[in-house]
Amino acid sequence: MKTILPARRKERPLILGIESSCDETAAAVIRGRTLLSDEIASSADVQALYGGVVPEIASRAHTDAVGQVVRRALETAGVEKEELDAVAVTYGAGLLGALLVGLSFAKGLSYALGIPLIGVDHIRGHLAASYLEDESLQPPFVTLLASGGHTAVIHTVTETQFRVLGSTLDDAAGEAFDKVARVLSLPYPGGPHIEALAREGENRIPLPKMLKGEGGYRFSYSGLKTAVINYCHTKEQKREAWSRADVACSFQHAAVDILVEKTVEGALETGVKTVTAGGGVVANGYLRAALAEACRKAGLRLVLPSKKHCTDNAAMIAAEGLVQYRAGNFSPLSLNACASIPLGGVR
Ligand code: KG4
Ligand code: ZN
């Protein structure tokens, strides 16, 4: 089916980004790398009642919200939809029903306005979030990707060329935060709750530092998660007192320190001067401080997206839309949603 191309490619196009891969319905407008609006509606409160994301509830919530969220994004940006140069939308990875809501809405806009559709890989969106933080940021750099589904160290060679230095062999870092939160009876998503509880505890429970000093840039989180579960169960069986806050704090250190260490190693080995990061776990205050300190010591420049742009949002989708717009990669109106896109898709 037809691919709508721009009449002429602008230096600083006005791009609407739409994101609906999980439980956040988000829309944002950028002009060049300047963020004009950034709107989000979340069904997380409802999902929290179920201890995770229920796909059908997510799809229905997106259907309710998408029109309003897009209208708010245009209003806040102070632009009319007719002024848009392109619409960028997450086409994967994520929950199929959820993705289809945002994708279909974006296609409708693209068709009606006669502007290009740009399908965005959600993970590339996370990698592009840093571009909004520093308008002068240019590759090469090394990026820590740590979200609910992925954990990897990535060498960004150019805006569109990537080399995965290493990724997780089992669970993602965010998944480990969520599973440990469940063990500690904390709500979903677990990351922010573990971070808050960890502030009241100490790092004094010995936990395995998975693949530390070995395994190249690979990570493994399932052993850490099991060690936490075993610790809690053993304490309960022996009826010994234990501190949930100490568990949260010790887990957070173990989970984060390895990310920081391997990211800095990756930057030093590839010889880049700049480190960036993306994904929900990068909203973690302890990780941000530890990465900043490690980069300072290693003489590396660190560009971190704001916390709001680490967890799912549409500004990062618009930012990656701009990368694709400049590369001339536009999508046909037949573009379909993909439940999974291999990390290797990050070429
Ligand atoms: O990037 P994201 O919003 O969605 C995915 O693409 O997966 O990441 C969600 C993950 C969840 O596992 C959540 O617990 C984690 O990011 N997360 C955090 C924090 N905020 C969100 N993990 C640690 N500390 C946080 N403050
Ligand atoms: Zn995400």
Q: What is the pLDDT of residues 252-277, one digit of tens each?
A: 999 999 999 999 999 999 999 999 99
Q: What is the mean pLDDT of the segment spanning 56-78? A: 97
* Residue with the two structure tokens 């291999």: 342
Render pLDDT for 317-332 as a digit per residue (tens, 0 to 9): 999 999 999 999 999 9
Tokens of 143: 């990026």
Lowest-pLDDT choice from 42-51, 126-135, 281-290: 42-51
* Whole-number Å distance between alpha carbons of 275 and 298: 11
- The residue ranking higher by pLDDT, 42 or 178, is 178
Per-residue pLDDT band for 345 (boundaries 50, 70, 90) equals: low
Q: Whose CA is nearest to atom 19 of ligand 1?
A: 191
Ligand of minimum distance to the alpha carbon of 286: 1
Please report the atom of ligand 1 found closest to the CA of residue 279: 1
Up-side HSE of residue 176: CA atoms within 13 Å toward CB? 28
Question: Which of 120-129, 268-277, 337-346 bottoms out in mean pLDDT, i.e. has the lowest?
Answer: 337-346
Closest-CA residue, ligand 1 atom 5, reads 148
Q: What is the pTM of this model?
A: 0.96
Average pLDDT of the chain to the nearest whole number: 95
Residues 94/122, Cβ–Cβ less than 8 Å:
yes
Can you tell me the distance from the alpha carbon of 133 to that of 137, in angstroms, rounded to the nearest whole number?
A: 8
C-alpha gyration radius of the chain: 20
Distance 13 CA to ligand 1 centre (A): 30
Query: What confidence score (pLDDT) does residue 347 get?
Result: 44
Question: Among 66-70, 90-94, 186-190, 284-288, which stretch is predicted with the lowest mean pLDDT?
Answer: 186-190
Task: Give burial (CB, 10 Å; 0-12/13-18/19+) of 10.
Answer: middle
Question: What residues flank ligand 1, with Cβ below 6 Å?
Answer: 126, 147-149, 174, 177-178, 189-192, 195, 279-281, 283-284, 311-312
Predicted local distance difference test score (pLDDT) of residue 346: 57
With a cut of 60, say whether residue 288 has pLDDT above it. yes
- How far, in Å, CA of 259 to CA of 144, rounded? 7
CA of 52 to the centre of ligand 2 (A): 15
Q: Which of 53, 177, 183, 306 to mutate to test the pocket of ligand 1 (most atoms within 8 A of CB)?
A: 177
Q: Give, using CA atoms, the residue closest to atom 3 of ligand 1.
A: 311
| Domains (range + CATH), the chain | 14-129+313-345 (3.30.420.40), 139-307 (3.30.420.40)
Q: Whose CA is nearest to atom 23 of ligand 1?
A: 191
Least confident of 127-131, 171-175, 214-218: 214-218
User: Residue holding tokens 């930057």?
Assistant: 267
Residue range 125-154: mean pLDDT, rounded: 97
Tell how far the Cα of 28 is from the centroid of ligand 1, in angstroms: 20
**How much is the pLDDT for 344?**
66
Residue nearest to atom 8 of ligand 1 (CA): 280
What is the CA(47)–ligand 1 centre distance, in A?
15
pLDDT digits (tens, 9 = 90+) for 199-226: 999 999 999 877 787 778 999 999 999 9
